[in-house]
Structure 1
Amino acid sequence: MSAFYARHRRTALAAATALAAGSLLVTAGTATGAPDTAAASAAQTAAVPAAMPVQLSPAARTALLKAAEGRTADTAGKIGLGAQEELVVRDVVQDRDGSVHTRYERTFGGLPVLGGDLVVHTSGAGKHLGVTKNVKAEIKADLTAEVPAAKAKTQALSASEAADAEKSAVESSRKVVWAADGEPRLAYETVVGGLQADGTPNELHVITDAVSGEKIHEFQGVHTGTGKTMYSGSVTLNTTLSGSTYQLTDSTRGGHKTYNLARGTSGTGTLFTDADDIWGTGVASSSSTDQTAATDAAYGAQKTWDFYKSTFNRSGIRNDGKAAYSRVHYGNAYVNAFWQDSCFCMTYGDGSGNTHPLTSLDVAAHEMTHGVTSVTAKLTYSGESGGLNEATSDILATGTEFYAANATDTGDYLIGEKININGNGTPLRYMDKPSKDGASADYWSSSLGSKDVHYSSGPANHFFYLLSEGSGAKTINGVSYNSPTYSGTAVTGIGRAKALQIWYKALTTYMTSTTKYAGARTATLSAATSLYGSGSAEYNAVNAAWAAVNVK
């Protein structure tokens, strides 16, 4: 689970200033389910490379998964796994040329191998094309534990309490093989629940060496962000009529539902309903039944679904045609938003005074993209991989914002510019020069992994901007940018459409849970090669953009 923006321990929350809300017109609420493809020109390539993914029907996807499951033993042998290693199928992607990329988790001696995930690449004719994995050698580990599980649980609770978490309690503990750092060893994975210091749900994963008792690693499992919306103006929503009452359920996009937690912090809440199918007022109120935040959340889910389907042929977060769901009015004056794998849902707080909900379009798309990452590369939410996880959400949320082409919230390379978290009208993050937020890094360095993941995302966000638009001063949709480079060498962009295709393919085909910045460079170069050819202008631009953020 990840929150939308970083919190610092033992500090008071800064109150956001009031957001201006103009007079908004109401439009009809029940519409056809067709995506607005007229707005998609900025998010798609003119040509359709053979390596782009096809849209798989649920039946076709299930058939590919079952076929892969039936040959796991054979595949394990082909890629050189040891006798105690087995593969578990997790996901599959098929390209237009018939190539198939199957993502696996790995077990050793029956135990899950954390960091052992891999992707096997096969041609349309069934020929083995290679494998992408973090752990190159055969996994070998002594499975005899010398430290009792109780000690691991105690250590995990201490780590949670050190982070000022409240109501900490061990939710689960299991033996695993830890291979994320390249040295496989027996360990315990303990998950601690409760609430983080700012009220965000806690799912702290603590990894303890089962032989020495040393804490190896920890990461957070909660990923932090017709009606009148607060941020996107008057919009058309898909709703469902049940009897004489309309429900905020979008049956045309996998059945997405928007629920009201009414200041609660657990459970699903109550589905939003309305008598006349006119939702919200365009101005948030402090009422726990206010519809405006729900309208923004539903609109964000709708546009994110359409962006992924139109741009990448992806049908929903899991690519199975089924929607996640959204919850609004979380907690009391909670100034954040988050994605949670355990409920497969998005959750939004109402912000300062319960009148500044964090439901803008880029926040919504950012959170849902954490879900996409969780079912594809599953980038671990700490260190450099955590920064790449956050950057992925920023990158694809930016793509969604440009795709939506909303006149009230035009596309830009700013993150959270509508929600005014800082209280002075400035955005939360800047992609052209990340350090403008006062904490993010513009360039890679050996200390990058020690930063909060919201700030170690900076070089990847910077890379994407440079790859899309190039360096130097320019104005896009009325916003001025001036992007520098590490060595001062100018970079020429290839356009946002191609940059999006390259990042998405790298995420879904070539990244794994422990990918760091050097690995992200390799993954995007592999993606550029698949899509546009080795030595192509696009490939060279990827290489130049990474060099420009000091990843070589």
Structure 2
Amino acid sequence: MKRKLALGAALSASALLAGAIQVSAGTAQAVPTPVVGQQRAALLAQADGAAPAAARALGLGSQERLVVKDVVADADGSRHLRYERTYGGLPVLGGDLIVHQDAKGSVKSVDRAIPGTLAPTGLTPKLSAGQAAAQATAAVRATLGTAKDSDEPALTSVDRTGAAQLVLWAATGSPRLAYRTTVEGVRADGTPSSQLLVTDAATGELLSSHEQVQTSNAAGTGNGVFVGNVALTTNYTGSTYELKDNTRGGQYTVTLKNKQGGSGTLYTDADNAWGTGTVSSDQSAAVDAQFGAAATWDFYKNTFGRSGIRGDGVGAYSRVHYGRNYVNAFWSDSCFCMTYGDGASNTHPLTELDVAGHEMTHGVTANTAGLNYSGESGGLNEATSDIFGSMVEFSANLPKDNPDYLIGELIDINGNGTPLRYMDKPSKDGRSADSWSSGVGSLDVHYSSGVANHFFYLLAEGSGAKTVNGVSYNSPTSNGSTLAGIGRAKAQQVWYRALTVYMTSTTDYAAARTATLNAATDLYGSGSAEYAAVAATWSAVNVN
């Protein structure tokens, strides 16, 4: 007999409509359990079946529908149902929400990306889809040859515009009818561009724009192959070995042979011995990439019970030797793949382990909280990738890549031996923020991420001078407090639970504080030392 995910009346209608967060003190140790394969599919199907009841319990209007995106199940039977929303059949951007249930299916609380109800003035656009697509294309073309900032290469071509899709824009302010359009092109350094633009359906006003191809923000030169001698799981066909790992969702690595597109050519080998550790062998970068994908898979699987980037047991694939002299690496949701350039003179591949973990974590974020890639939510998106990229490095614990809180430290992006970013004191890069201020949201997301990076380091390791794995750190606090830290193992559990259970697309730093406090309550109890540490650490980066 199938058990439906009933939505009970444990939370009043008024509290539901207000999006109240009510977490009981008795939920300590509500840790997630692995949900994969048929079990995950069954939970998603049940959550989908529960969507109409959830919509009624939340007081949604007759034109609003909930579409299930993800389910997190805890060991104590609690469940967290993540939904997207539609209105009149149109996707609502910023309409996502999370319903938290106890083991009996009663609603405990709800987290919404936006408060209140949806009441657009109408669903009839003044502009046609063709006009909207043309305006979106014109907006992107207007940026040709100019860079948003010194770290984003200028767009050099606009190659394709997708069909404009009618949506309801609710991420900021009052809901209004809009079009969502994807415009593709190429940047000056060879990075493909896929910009998602949202424009007002009545006036054509640009409401939102963000780059969907998310890079490591790297520019400079690297220093070769990074993982050293490692074990690889490969596939034997009966006549040759393939660089394909069927034990980790079938993830594999291909070469693009210095092209900038295509699915690439799968690596094969006669003796199952791959690469030489030098760039003279094109397999060496492939070894880095394949190991990076495996290490990232193992980190999420062993630490959180997550099976693959989407949590569905399917492995992503990696592409190496992208373009010529391409000094970057990027994750793309559209191909569900990780791509690496060969760096300056095609001799410095961007295949360092924390770069791999960082970029693939963008995929995890896209399939959970879906943090908007702009403003404070964009900073949290980038920080999540830095945080878990570093944790992948600690998890792998390679002798040739000493685990640390430095981002991209081995590829010498700056040409002077310094890393790309510092988690203990982000401002050491000259641009990132150590603590929150009212202007943080206007920074580039790679620099507004500093607040969350600093928070995580302080939560894990504490403040002041210390040495971890032979690396010296000296982390300050904005309020002069002294923090002891709760350790990496607990800190990463808090951040992951906040990401997957409480954060939404519009989460800012204030909401991230609430999300991590809720996560700490679930994991360790509201009166725990861990809960107190999370609160004190946010205060130490001026998020109060």
TM over 0.5: yes
Residue 111 (structure 2) aligns with:
132
Query: Would the aligned equivalents of 1:172 and 1:192 in 2 still touch at CA under 8 Å?
Result: no
Amino acid of the structure 2 residue aligned with 1:246: Y
Residue 198 (structure 2) aligns with:
207
Aligned partner of residue 71 in structure 1, secondary structure: helix
> For residues 1-25 of structure 1, what are the alpha-carbon distances to aligned partners after superposition, in whole Å with 9 as ceiling and x for unaligned?
xxxxxxxxxxxxxxxxxxxxxxxxx
CA distance in 1, matches of 2:106, 2:89: 29
Aligned partner of residue 381 in structure 1, secondary structure: coil
Count of residues paired in the alignment: 499
Q: Give how far 1:524 is off.
A: 0.5
2:94 is the alignment partner of 1:115: yes
CA distance in 1, matches of 2:50, 2:528: 36
- Counterpart among 305, 308, 312 of residue 316 in structure 1: 308
> For residues 200-243 of structure 1, what are the alpha-carbon distances to aligned partners after superposition, in whole Å with 9 as ceiling and x for unaligned?
11111111111232111111111113xxx911210000001112
Residue 460 (structure 2) aligns with:
468
2:65 is the alignment partner of 1:86: yes
CA distance in 1, matches of 2:140, 2:238: 47
Q: Give how far 1:144 is off.
A: 2.0
> For residues 291-342 of structure 1, what are the alpha-carbon distances to aligned partners after superposition, in whole Å with 9 as ceiling and x for unaligned?
0110000011111111111110111111111101111111111111101011
Identity %: 62
CA distance in 1, matches of 2:63, 2:352: 48
Amino acid of the structure 2 residue aligned with 1:220: E
How do 1:253-402 residues align onto structure 2 when only pairs under 5 Å count?
Answer: 253-285=248-280, 290-402=282-394
CA distance in 2, matches of 1:337, 1:49: 40
Rate the CA distance shift 1:150–1:349 in 2: closer, same or farther, 3 A: same
> For residues 338-363 of structure 1, what are the alpha-carbon distances to aligned partners after superposition, in whole Å with 9 as ceiling and x for unaligned?
01011111111111111111111101
CA distance in 2, matches of 1:51, 1:218: 37
2:141 is the alignment partner of 1:146: no
2:178 is the alignment partner of 1:187: yes
Q: Give how far 1:516 is off.
A: 1.0
2:93 is the alignment partner of 1:101: no
Amino acid of the structure 1 residue aligned with 2:137: L
Rate the CA distance shift 1:305–1:49 in 2: closer, same or farther, 3 A: farther
Aligned partner of residue 406 in structure 1, secondary structure: coil
Residue 411 (structure 2) aligns with:
419
Q: Give how far 1:445 is off.
A: 1.4
2:240 is the alignment partner of 1:245: yes
Residue 156 (structure 1) aligns with:
136
CA distance in 1, matches of 2:373, 2:428: 23
Q: Give how far 1:544 is off.
A: 1.0
> For residues 157-193 of structure 1, what are the alpha-carbon distances to aligned partners after superposition, in whole Å with 9 as ceiling and x for unaligned?
2332243321342123111000111421111111101
CA distance in 2, matches of 1:245, 1:163: 48
Q: Give how far 1:367 is off.
A: 1.0
Amino acid of the structure 2 residue aligned with 1:180: A
CA distance in 2, matches of 1:158, 1:472: 50
Q: Give how far 1:508 is off.
A: 0.2
Q: Give how far 1:49 is off.
A: 6.2
Residue 479 (structure 2) aligns with:
487
2:539 is the alignment partner of 1:547: yes
CA distance in 1, matches of 2:52, 2:476: 50
CA distance in 1, matches of 2:104, 2:328: 48
Amino acid of the structure 1 residue aligned with 2:86: T
Residue 30 (structure 2) aligns with:
51
Aligned partner of residue 474 in structure 1, secondary structure: strand
- Counterpart among 225, 229, 236 of residue 231 in structure 2: 236
CA distance in 1, matches of 2:442, 2:49: 42
Query: Would the aligned equivalents of 1:221 and 1:340 in 2 still touch at CA under 8 Å?
Result: yes
Query: Would the aligned equivalents of 1:161 and 1:168 in 2 still touch at CA under 8 Å?
Result: no
- Counterpart among 426, 431, 435 of residue 434 in structure 1: 426
Query: Would the aligned equivalents of 1:98 and 1:123 in 2 still touch at CA under 8 Å?
Result: yes
Q: Give how far 1:124 is off.
A: 1.4
Query: Would the aligned equivalents of 2:406 and 2:421 in 1 still touch at CA under 8 Å?
Result: yes
CA distance in 2, matches of 1:206, 1:260: 31
Amino acid of the structure 2 residue aligned with 1:369: T
TM norm structure 2: 0.90
Query: Would the aligned equivalents of 2:130 and 2:164 in 1 still touch at CA under 8 Å?
Result: no
Q: Extract unaligned runs of 5+ from structure 2.
A: 1-26, 145-154, 217-223
- Counterpart among 197, 215, 220 of residue 224 in structure 1: 215
Residue 219 (structure 2) aligns with:
none
Bigger Cα displacement from structure 2, 106-115 vs 142-151: 142-151
Q: Give how far 1:386 is off.
A: 1.0
TM norm structure 1: 0.88
Report 1 or 2 for greater relative contact order, CA contacts < 8 Å, sequence distance ≥ 6: 1
Query: Would the aligned equivalents of 2:28 and 2:525 in 1 still touch at CA under 8 Å?
Result: no
Q: Give how far 1:382 is off.
A: 1.3
Aligned partner of residue 498 in structure 1, secondary structure: helix
Q: Extract unaligned runs of 5+ from structure 1.
A: 1-47
Q: CA RMSD in A?
A: 1.4
Q: Give how far 1:135 is off.
A: 1.6
CA distance in 2, matches of 1:159, 1:259: 35
- Counterpart among 168, 171, 178 of residue 162 in structure 2: 171
Residue 69 (structure 1) aligns with:
48
Aligned partner of residue 130 in structure 2, secondary structure: helix
Query: Would the aligned equivalents of 1:69 and 1:89 in 2 still touch at CA under 8 Å?
Result: yes
Query: Would the aligned equivalents of 1:207 and 1:216 in 2 still touch at CA under 8 Å?
Result: yes
Query: Would the aligned equivalents of 1:163 and 1:197 in 2 still touch at CA under 8 Å?
Result: no
